[in-house]
Each structure stands twice: as structure tokens, then as C-alpha cells.
Amino acid sequence: MKKILLIEALANSGPYVLDAARALGARVFVATHEDVYESYPGALRDKIHGAVFTDLTDPDRALADLAAFAEATGIDAVAGCWEFFTPLVAHLAERLGLPGNDPRLAQACRNKAVMAQAFYAGQVPAPRTISVRTAGEAARALGRIGIGFPVVVKPAEQGGSWGVSVVESPEQLDAGVQHAQSWPIAAPHGLPMDQRVIVQEYVAGPEFSLDTVVWRDEYFHLPPVEKHTTAGAYRAETGHTCPAALPAAELSALRAATERALRALGIRNGVAHTELKISPDAGPVVIEVGARLPGDHLVDVIRRASGIDEARAYLQAVLDEKPDVPAPREGACAIRFLTPPRAGTFHGVTIDGRHDGLVDGDITTPTGAVVGSAHDNSARIGHLVFTAPTAAQVNADAAHALAHTRIEVS
């Protein structure tokens, strides 16, 4: 029986990885901190074969502890779920002589300032980006390089759209930079975040994500996903639809830009979640890449739409087996996130009537909880999942159901 070391399972994709490992007949050992392990839901713990504790905020110590554990246990593959730990996954795989990404480039998969440099070096179509510590520095650099407003301001390290804002004028730069520096520590491990801020050109156009399983430098693309976000200053994701209805030429351009980005980041064995916009002037532009499975239940959405199990294919790649990524079957799936109409006390969700295609859903916020406004993904109170034969139908079904959904806040 193969043994996989998974660096932190407490993530949206964690349960999918653990289920896929079981289906492949592999055992999973999870690397985490014992205090974090205490907070694992029972259902997650039940899927794990064993745990090894270390301090994931100390990369040198974690590397030494986990290498010793892996050698003593006879670990066959190293995997991860969290973006912030993807450099550790790459370094550990290299140390153990197992398949993985290039550790020399791995920091670029975690830090958007380093990623922008790697994209520039690899001639990846990406927004021009500067990295700064203050609004004054940003204003001077933008003027020098000739980047006009609007610009997008974001933390060099974060996720979930936390701290990301679209800044329309020089007067708003200060607020944007402060917003980006509001989360210096990432829960649950207490990982310190780079406090640099990146400022980049605003890219217009629709947004997509494309997941790719990479095995021995060969790319296995999953069906593209259309990403729906809020408009205005804060861009939180409101939902995803798989597959995105894209003409063949646009899909192949999206794939080409993605492959260029993965090469620039040294992603050679594992999985990548690439976010792109298709600009009316410039075509596909890469916004970011995570060398990890997607969050937002996209593993489930893609599987319901296409029959392809991305978590299984990822584990096959790190086990050095050819990943199963067959041609997608006909069908579509959409997820929509429920966010409160305004800040206040949450009283529940009412969906009037019956709705075609509504196959799953979860309300994750308890009644009586205080909820914020939808600046980032932390405002979500739950989600609904729909399936239908086509993307157009599933989008229409989701829109219809949402129009009959009331989120009670006072």
C-alpha cells in the first residue's frame, strides 16, 4: 500500500484528497501542528491514517522533521493543499528524491511579488506589476513606469481576495495599501505574511480558471471554469461554472498562456490552479497561479460537470503514475456563494419554490452570527450547487434560484 505525506489537510480540498487516496488504496499521513490538529473536525480525522506534528511556520525545522519522518515511514509521495506550504512540499519532495516542483522557483508559487518577477522572466502574458511598501512609493513607481488608473492593489501574500481592491485614483492609493496590509498573519498556523504590497495594471474582460495536472512535465488540462465575481472596488468570488462556454480558439489560447506560466514557475509534477482574464485587447492574461488544488469546492464542481476527479489525478501524478484525465463527459455544474446583502445579524436563508438542477448546498454560518459585507470570501454564509446538461442551462437555473433566495440579515 502506497503512503502519501499530505502537508496540512485542513483546507477546502483536504477531504477530496483523502477520499481520492482511499479510492486509490493509498494511506495518508498528515503533517500539521498539534494545536491545529486539535481543531480538525472528526469527519476529517477519520479519513487520516496518521499524523506527524511539526512547526509549519519554521520552514527549516519542518523540512528536517518531515524528512526524518518520511524516511522512517517509507513515504512514497508528498502532496499539499495550502498555497503557503507549496514551497515546503517542493523542497521536501526534492530532499526525498520524489517527484515534485522545482524548489528553486517554489517561492514564486506562494508570493505574488516573486511570481510577478518569474512571469516577467518567462514572458508570461501578465499585468505589469510593481511591489512596494507604501502608497508614496507606489505613486512614484506608477508614474515612472507609466501605469495609469485604475490599478489593482493586493497583498504579496494572501488568498481569498483578502486585502485586494481596485483603486480608481491616486487619492485612493493610501487606503488600498493599508487594506492590503491588514492581515499580517495567516490562520490557523500563525504564518507571518510578507507585508509588501503589489500594484498592477487593471485587466478588463471575463475571468476563468484552468486547472492542470502535471506529470513528468506533461500537461493534463481539466475543463475550463468561468469565474463570477462582484464588481466595484472589492472582487470577491460569487460563483463558478464548469465548463466555461469558450470557443476552441480561445480555449487553446488560455491553455497556451497557462503552460507558459507553469513553466515559468517550475511546476513540473503536481497540480496547478491558474486564474486568467481574457482581455478584449490582449487576449489571455494570467492573474495568478496556485501550485495546489483549487478551493471553493471546485474539485466537486469539476467532477460533477465532467466526471474527472482532479484530486485523484493529482495524487497519481505525485505517486509518479500517469494521471487519469479522460475527455470530459457532457454536462455542466455551477456553484454559487451566498453572501449577506449587508453587514448585521444573520437569521437564515429562505429559498421559495422548487428549483431545477439544485443538487446540493450548505449553510455554514450559524443563525445569530454577526456577518460582514462582501469585501472578500470571508463574508460567505454558504453555497448552492446546480447541475444541468449545458453551461447556459446551469447558469440560468442558478440565476433563477438565487432570485428566489432571501438571506435574512437585521
Ligand X SMILES: Nc1ncnc2c1ncn2[C@@H]1O[C@H](COP(=O)(O)OP(=O)(O)OP(=O)(O)O)[C@@H](O)[C@H]1O
Other Cβ atoms closer than 10 A to 99 = 19
Q: Taking CB within 5 to 8 Å according to partner kind, which of Mg ion, ligand X, none is near residue 160?
A: ligand X
Q: Are 253 and 283 in contact (CB under 8 A)?
A: yes
CB of 204 to ligand X, least distance (A): 7
Rounded CA separation 340/253 (Å): 37
Contact string (CB under 6 A) for ligand X, positions 97-136, x = contact = ------------------------------x---------
Residue nearer to ligand X on the CB measure, 161 or 212: 161
Q: Is the dihedral of CA 380, 385, 388, 390 positive or negative?
A: positive
Q: Are 301 and 242 in contact (CB under 8 A)?
A: yes
Q: Contact between 275 and ligand X (CB under 6 A)?
A: yes
350 forms beta bridges with 406
Quick one: which of 53, 149, 202, 219 contacts ligand X (CB under 6 A)?
202
Q: Contact between 154 and ligand X (CB under 6 A)?
A: yes
Residue nearer to ligand X on the CB measure, 53 or 149: 149
Rounded CA separation 129/117 (Å): 9
CB of 276 to Mg ion, least distance (A): 10
Residue nearer to ligand X on the CB measure, 154 or 221: 154
Quick one: which of 157, 207, 211, 300 contacts ligand X (CB under 6 A)?
207
CB of 386 to ligand X, least distance (A): 21
Question: Of residues 282-311, which lie at the interface with ligand X (CB under 6 A)?
Answer: 287-288
Q: Contact between 76 and ligand X (CB under 6 A)?
A: no
Cell of 15: 477531504
- CA dist 137 → 100, 117, 130, 140, 142 (Å): 37, 18, 10, 5, 9
Using Cβ positions, the residue closest to ligand X within the complex turns out to be: 235
Cell of 193: 505574511
Using Cβ positions, the residue closest to Mg ion within the complex turns out to be: 275
Question: Of residues 241-280, which lie at the interface with Mg ion (CB under 5 A)?
Answer: 275
Q: Contact between 81 and ligand X (CB under 6 A)?
A: no
Residue type, 12: N
Residue nearer to Mg ion on the CB measure, 275 or 397: 275
- Segment near ligand X (CB under 6 A), from 46-54, 135-143, 202-210, 401-409? 202-210
Q: Contact between 32 and ligand X (CB under 6 A)?
A: no
Q: Taking CB within 5 to 8 Å according to partner kind, which of Mg ion, ligand X, none is near residue 284?
A: none
197 forms beta bridges with 132, 155
Q: Contact between 160 and ligand X (CB under 6 A)?
A: yes
Residue type, 39: S
Long-range contacts of 376-379 (CB under 8 A, 24+ apart): 376/160, 376/161, 376/162, 376/163, 376/164, 376/234, 376/236, 377/160, 377/161, 377/162, 377/236, 377/237, 377/337, 378/160, 378/162, 379/236, 379/339, 379/340
Q: Contact between 378 and ligand X (CB under 6 A)?
A: no
Q: Contact between 189 and ligand X (CB under 6 A)?
A: no
Considering CB under 6 A, how many residues would be counted as binding ligand X? 21
CB of 162 to ligand X, least distance (A): 6
Q: Taking CB within 5 to 8 Å according to partner kind, which of Mg ion, ligand X, none is near residue 18?
A: none
CB of 69 to ligand X, least distance (A): 30
CB of 35 to ligand X, least distance (A): 25
Other Cβ atoms closer than 10 A to 335 = 26
Nearest CA-CA partner of 95 in 124, 65, 137:
65
- Segment near ligand X (CB under 6 A), from 9-17, 199-207, 321-329, 356-364? 199-207
Other Cβ atoms closer than 10 A to 218 = 12
In degrees and rounded to multiples of 5, residue 345 shows phi and psi of -100, 130
177 forms beta bridges with none
Q: For binding to ligand X (CB under 6 A), which residues are involved? A: 127, 152, 154, 158-162, 164, 200-203, 207, 229, 235, 237, 275, 287-288, 377
Residues that bind Mg ion (CB under 5 A): 275, 288
